[in-house]
Chain A
Amino acid sequence: MIPSRWTGRALALLAGVAVLAPTTEVAAQGPEPSPNAPANPGSSDSAPVSSQPEEEVEEVEDIEDIENVDLADLLDMDLDEQLGTTEAVSRSDESILRAPATLTTIDTTRIRHSGATTIPELLRGVPGVQVVRNAAGNYLVSMRGTGGLTGNNLVVMLDGVPLNSPIDSSVDWDLMGLAVRDVERIEVVRGPVSTIYGADAYTGVINIVSRQSTLARHAASVRGVGGTDLGPAPVGIGSASYVFSGEKATVKWFGTGRYDDTNNVRDGFRHPPLTQAGMVTSVDVSTSERSRFHVELGGSYSERSSLDQLVLESHPTERGLAFGSIGWSIAELPGVLDTVDVWARSRAQFVRTDPDLFTGFNYTDTNAVRSELGVDIGFDFHRMVRGRIGGQGTVDYIEAPYLHPAVSGTPRAGAAFHGGLSIYPTKTLDLNIHARGDIPPVLGRLQPSFRTSIVYHRDRWSMRLAVAAAFRSPSYVEAGGQFRDPATNFVLLEGNPQLQPPQQATIELGSIVAPINAVTIRPTLYVSASSSQVIADFDPLVQKTYKSEAKPRWMTGAELEVDWHILDELSLAAATGYLRFFKFDETTTPLVGVPEQNSTWTAMLRLYGTTTNERYGYGVGGNVASPRSYVARAGIPPQIIDVDVPYTGYVDGRFEFQPALAVPLWLSATGQVGMMPRLFESPFPLGAQLGGLFMLGLEWRRE
């Protein structure tokens, strides 16, 4: 019989762990699935047909209110089917349950009912991720112990296209070109993944996936949101989208614009407001049953504060980003060949500012283009062995007055190649090994990375052990910078071409457990060694250069995430992360990786859902991060910053409703308040206060 939802789940939760193994032993008897198919070991052949009708009558006869029955239970969905698949971890579609790295997925429901109005705000509370807001549109996001003065230690992608700046790998979060409400999901992969994503992905990758309509062939929306902070100061956001999902093609278009002067003050100083506009469009066509063609174009423009670890002044700075990608893939090829992906992508960035406003360093007159061309080939050697190889070429063209004349305006080429094997010795065990060699344009020499993992998976849980090593290519500023003081012509910044690439090696043990369908628990433990971190070298007194830290930094961390689908209309997400450095050189202060500059722990709790068949949506939550302190030299000319950041956090909420079912209009109210609004979290002396925000919105949505 099926008892009521609560009784059944309580019973199952209590007995879940004890009976996991024996039950899955029964499930393992069945035809072997194909290696990359979801772990679905049963088949109708394994269950005696004659006993089914009696069991089903027993199970369904006690149902009274059908909406109290969990549909996933009725469908006998196992954890693999419920979690679905991802391409974020290995750049090929694979089961989340069996993915060989720590992955957090922030899905569309949680995004839609969050009080976050920017993508970095959505990342708060992801364990292992540290988010710092400097000013409107100006964020530093880091992972697993690389919090500090820079945000160039992870790779951020939009629909698989990297958007990091070619100059210094920093991320302009205001140039994503996508409104928060047009994000389908955000996939946060933590750990060294350079073997998949190349240089810079040495602490992880964040992949932002644009909205995919599943409700209708044609989906469109137009939104307007406006509000104020506690100042008051205004914010206005407009966005529009169109998604066509046909049998053979998907066409998407997104546009967004934002004016934001909220929470932009610190001790009477007001930062420049954020003005931003962006657009993304993509076409995905199935050219045949086994092949598809994809093209994506996007562009953004913004003007915001210049605040940065090299620029401690805050003046208006214009930034622009344009990107494009094109790809063709074919699957199910004959013989041992399985898939072929041919792709090309390019991104161009500019930075403009008025240099007369600055007394020191600034990024004006920066132009950068990075173009890449690559091919990836998958092999299906045997049902137990699959392989993958690939290669790419890269060309950079960077122009900037703060780079050495030999570097600026000179195209530089790089290359990379990778190969890996996935072995499935049994239906429940996956072995992966992947290696890559990169010759980054900046470095000009081969740098290896690797990842190996063992994943053991059953119906209700999986466990993975992964060992990986990856690196970040030194930036053009770090390796080839040359900035002269306009007044004295002194060289205030000099890059170091001999700089070693920062590296990170990690051993990680993680698990995904679902004691009942409604609850998923994901614990992870890791130990990492971070070496050759970049240190700003001020030995020449005024002139800043860079050197590599000699000794590694060791850290350990733990992350825990719980998702509880309490009811169809109510979900709870909770997460916490812990980080501790246990061996490091206390006499050096690298740009990132200083223990005091990383929160020891973070926590997040969120309730969200919809009701009345999605006519009402709601979400409320909060996050908190433990104190940090920054004592370092930053800026050009250098200043000593000495900033203590206490406990910080936000409480946010969002409520939306559709007044009339026949009219596709939604009204919304969004609020976000810093736990202590006058507090700040930025390492920079001018970093803005947390503040608070309240907005009302109107959305026309056709789905």
Chain B
Amino acid sequence: MSASRRGFLRAAGLGGVTTMAVGLAPARARAAGNERKAAIIARAISYERTLGTRSNASLRIGIAFARESDSSTRDSQAWLDGFASISDVTVNGNAIEVMTFPWEAGVPDRLDVLLVCDGLQWQSAAIADTTGSKRILSVGSVRDYLDDDCTLGVFDVDGKPRITINLTSAEREKVKFSSRLLKLADVIR
């Protein structure tokens, strides 16, 4: 095979892969790892209409885990890694700052987003109080959180990531999402 033909096939293959990834990726179902979920969460947050009035130069995301639970700690690390992969991303011009903290240590100051890891279901009432009083957007790591306390979550449905939004929690946290996001999300009232 000539070098030019190999080059052409390589380019065609690359073009095909890129096309599939960009334009036709939806045809192939893929469960979403934390990297993709982090990107989706960041994109969803960019649709939050009051974001500009609450955050300063950066978007502060706190990942809360249960200190005594190994699985909760691992969940928080996975999320930290996920957001690390999009560390250069800005949301409406704001850089993302991500930190993990045990829930028992208390919520850091000036948080814009609280991501609640698995293992904190027993703290649901306290979480709701905190996010409501401090106007923090809550993100649930597992689906259970969305039924009561958290506003936003990304979960796999039939092998594809899907956004879920709890409008009652959103009202409590004084969060307003644009209609464009709500059209693409599963909405709980």
The answer on a CB contact under 8 Å between A49 and B31 is: yes
The answer on a CB contact under 8 Å between B23 and A45 is: no
The answer on a CB contact under 8 Å between A1 and B21 is: yes
Q: Is A77 an interface residue (CB 8 A)?
A: yes
The residue of chain A having its C-beta at the shortest distance from the C-beta of B88 within the complex is A64
Given that A9-B23, A75-B161, A459-B26 are contacting pairs, would A217 and B167 also be in contact in the complex, using a CB cutoff of 8 Å?
yes
CB proximity of A494 to chain B, nearest CB, Å: 54
Which one of A36-44, A173-181, A379-387 is at the B interface?
Answer: A36-44
The answer on a CB contact under 8 Å between A245 and B189 is: yes
The residue of chain B having its C-beta at the shortest distance from the C-beta of A48 within the complex is B30
Q: Is A27 an interface residue (CB 8 A)?
A: yes
The answer on a CB contact under 8 Å between B156 and A23 is: no
Q: Which residues of A contact B181 (CB under 8 A)?
A: 71
The answer on a CB contact under 8 Å between B22 and A9 is: yes
How distant is the Cα of A174 from the Cα of B174 in the complex, in angstroms? 39
Task: Name the residue in B27, B46, B159 with the highest tally of chain A Cβ atoms < 10 Å from its Cβ.
Answer: B27
How distant is the Cα of A161 from the Cα of B176 in the complex, in angstroms? 33
Q: Is A517 an interface residue (CB 8 A)?
A: yes
The answer on a CB contact under 8 Å between A216 and B49 is: no
The residue of chain B having its C-beta at the shortest distance from the C-beta of A614 within the complex is B178
The residue of chain A having its C-beta at the shortest distance from the C-beta of B177 within the complex is A215
CB proximity of B106 to chain A, nearest CB, Å: 29
The answer on a CB contact under 8 Å between B184 and A78 is: no
Contact-residue bracket for chain B: 35 or more
The answer on a CB contact under 8 Å between A78 and B22 is: no
> B91 contacts which of A12, A67, A75, A460 (Cβ < 8 Å)?
A67
Q: Is A586 an interface residue (CB 8 A)?
A: no
- Within 195-246 of A, Cβ neighbours of B (below 8 Å) are at 214-217, 245-246
Q: Which residues of A contact B21 (CB under 8 A)?
A: 1-2, 55, 59
The answer on a CB contact under 8 Å between B40 and A78 is: no
Which one of A14-22, A135-143, A258-266 is at the B interface?
Answer: A14-22
How distant is the Cα of A223 from the Cα of B147 in the complex, in angstroms? 35
How many residues of A are in contact with the other chain, CB < 8 A? 72
Q: Which residues of A contact B16 (CB under 8 A)?
A: 15, 19
1/0 contact trace for B10-35 toward A, CB 8 Å?
Answer: 00000110111111111111111101
1/0 contact trace for A106-132 toward B, CB 8 Å?
Answer: 001100000000000000000000000
Q: Which residues of B contact A631 (CB under 8 A)?
A: none
The answer on a CB contact under 8 Å between A77 and B27 is: no
Q: Is A56 an interface residue (CB 8 A)?
A: yes
> A27 contacts which of B19, B29, B33 (Cβ < 8 Å)?
B29
How distant is the Cα of A44 from the Cα of B177 in the complex, in angstroms? 29
Q: Which residues of A contact B85 (CB under 8 A)?
A: 57, 60-61
Q: Which residues of A contact B77 (CB under 8 A)?
A: none
1/0 contact trace for B71-90 toward A, CB 8 Å?
Answer: 00000000000000110111
Q: Which residues of A contact B46 (CB under 8 A)?
A: 66-67
Q: Which residues of B contact A539 (CB under 8 A)?
A: none
How distant is the Cα of A53 from the Cα of B30 in the complex, in angstroms? 10
21 contacts between A and B (CB under 8 A): A1-B18, A12-B19, A23-B24, A27-B29, A44-B158, A44-B159, A53-B35, A56-B30, A60-B36, A61-B85, A71-B40, A71-B44, A71-B47, A71-B181, A72-B184, A77-B26, A214-B182, A215-B167, A459-B26, A516-B23, A517-B26
- Residues of B that sit less than 8 Å from A by CB: 15-16, 18-33, 35-36, 38-40, 42-44, 46-53, 85-86, 88-92, 156, 158-163, 167-168, 171, 176-184, 187, 189
